[in-house]
Structure 1
Amino acid sequence: MREILGRRRRLRFRRKARTARLDAAVTFAVEWGWPVLPGAGLRATTRTAAGPACSCPDPDCVVPGAHPYDPGLLAATTDERMIRWWWTRRPDAPVVLATGGRAPCAVSLPAVAGARALAALDATGMRLGPVVATPTRWSILVAPYGLERLGELLYAKDSVPSSLRFHGEGGYLLLPPSVAGTGQVRWERAPLAGSARPWLPDVEAVVDALIEASTSTPGGGSRLAY
């Protein structure tokens, strides 16, 4: 009897998780105007020495489950019918945001450095938008920026640690409540409930704190941790 009840609870949890991804994708795309698409996802029954295996054909995939595969990134859309079609057929698929253009961009850094950066920004009274977290990396969502603008910004810095990643036009970012090879994707700073479209800071407002946090964190300045 206990075994049957336990199985039912697990099934209810899986159904809820699957519905949550579809609901999240619809919110991002339809309510907020963020173009999304399903990510590669993980193979349920296959693991590698490094952990869960990606469903893409690359046996050495370094970002298992956390990237577009089929469809490709250019398929990202805000069309509700397309989104419902995708997640009806692949309810476990992670939600991938196509960054740049009119969509948010992001700057990501190792998790320990990310926590330091947020503390430093909070201490200055800086207003922040949503922050996405995985067990290994935190990503601060920022207003859209172009490559030329980003290049000029970084050129003015003495140095930029290689552990920082800039998710701009042509890039992507996994959004909650996805699951990837590194673990659960969650909101470290969630968008305000009921917001029509989350507010986002400019990249110039946060980049100095992110550089400082990355360079001052042991292993956070050059280690490219996924």
Structure 2
Amino acid sequence: MDAALLCATEWDWPVLPGVGLEAAGGTSRGEAPGGRRGDRERGCACPDPECVVPGAHPFDPGLLAASTDERLVRWWWGNRPDAPVLLATGGRAPCAVSLPAVAAARALSVLDRREMRLGPVVATPTRWSLLVAPYTLEQLGELLYVKDCVPSSLRFHGEGGYLVLPPSDTGTGQVRWERAPLAGSASPWLPDVEAVVDALVEASTSAPDGGSRLRY
């Protein structure tokens, strides 16, 4: 609950609980009662047996319910304390650009050598996401139109999208901060997407299209 409250009340980021994973110790799909599986093998709690983002997407409540209201956030996580924290991206909230973890590590090294100031970076075992200032689809379209190639492994989380935040457990493992927001900051500083997209496109060009299919 603390992480959700920090995002909602201190940073003014709209959040909502993710669907989460099947209950620990419960009978999973295709598993006999009493079977034991690790957290990473637990399926999504949603009805889709082939869910590609297990635990890490909205379900009930839906994405449009995302809120910064303290009472609502306390109620949500009071009832489901282990629920993943989802950020509803776009609008006045941060957007993000995500890419496979190996490519992201290369891109961050390039940006560091250029002495580029970066904002928070969210990491899962398969993908990293760089938080950026809000952008519109029109701005993004103009930015990408001039690129010779935009790899499908590079994904943009803008208006109408979402991003799972630390500390959340998902079907791919623990979500963590690769680069955490500065402690005590009123609201994390975010770079413009224009400042980072060239390095991310370059790093993603040779990366396999791995990871889960996340909504833009």
Q: TM-score scaled by structure 2?
A: 0.90
1:150-184 per-position Cα deviation (integer Å, ceiling 9, x unaligned): 00101110000000110000000000000100000
Of residues 152, 177, 189, the one that matches 1:162 is 152
Q: CA 1:212–1:47 in 2, change beyond 3 Å: closer, same or farther?
A: farther
C-alpha separation between the residues in 2 aligned to 1:209 and 1:41? 33
C-alpha separation between the residues in 2 aligned to 1:41 and 1:114? 26
1:51 deviates by 2.5
Larger helix percent: 1
Specify every segment of 5 or more residues in structure 1 that has no aligned partner in the other structure, as ranges. Answer: 1-21
Corresponding residue of 1:35: 14
**Match of 2:163, SS?**
strand
C-alpha separation between the residues in 2 aligned to 1:66 and 1:163? 18
Corresponding residue of 1:10: none
Work out whether residues 40 and 66 of structure 1, in 8 Å CA contact, stay in contact via their aligned partners in 2. Answer: yes
C-alpha separation between the residues in 2 aligned to 1:55 and 1:72? 14
C-alpha separation between the residues in 1 aligned to 2:109 and 2:90? 26
Of residues 165, 170, 175, the one that matches 1:180 is 170
Question: Is 1:195 equivalent to 2:190 in the alignment?
Answer: no
Q: CA 1:82–1:116 in 2, change beyond 3 Å: closer, same or farther?
A: same
Structure 1 consecutive aligned stretches of length 4 or more whose deviation exceeds 3 Å: 46-50
Corresponding residue of 2:37: none
Superposed CA RMSD: 1.3
**Match of 1:108, SS?**
strand
C-alpha separation between the residues in 1 aligned to 2:174 and 2:45? 17
**Match of 2:43, SS?**
strand
1:48 deviates by 6.0
Corresponding residue of 1:4: none
C-alpha separation between the residues in 2 aligned to 1:46 and 1:215? 41
C-alpha separation between the residues in 2 aligned to 1:90 and 1:193? 26
Work out whether residues 130 and 187 of structure 1, in 8 Å CA contact, stay in contact via their aligned partners in 2. Answer: yes
Corresponding residue of 1:5: none
**Match of 1:206, SS?**
helix
Q: TM-score scaled by structure 1?
A: 0.87
**Match of 1:54, SS?**
coil
C-alpha separation between the residues in 1 aligned to 2:124 and 2:73? 24
- 2:193 partner amino acid: V
C-alpha separation between the residues in 2 aligned to 1:47 and 1:125? 48
**Match of 1:207, SS?**
helix
- 2:189 partner amino acid: W
Larger strand percent: 1
1:5-53 per-position Cα deviation (integer Å, ceiling 9, x unaligned): xxxxxxxxxxxxxxxxx00000000000000000000002355698320
User: How many residues are aligned here?
Assistant: 201
Question: Is 1:151 equivalent to 2:141 in the alignment?
Answer: yes
Work out whether residues 162 and 224 of structure 1, in 8 Å CA contact, stay in contact via their aligned partners in 2. Answer: no
C-alpha separation between the residues in 1 aligned to 2:182 and 2:91? 23
Corresponding residue of 2:83: 93
Once the two structures are aligned, what percentage of the paired residues are identical? Answer: 77
Q: CA 1:47–1:112 in 2, change beyond 3 Å: closer, same or farther?
A: farther
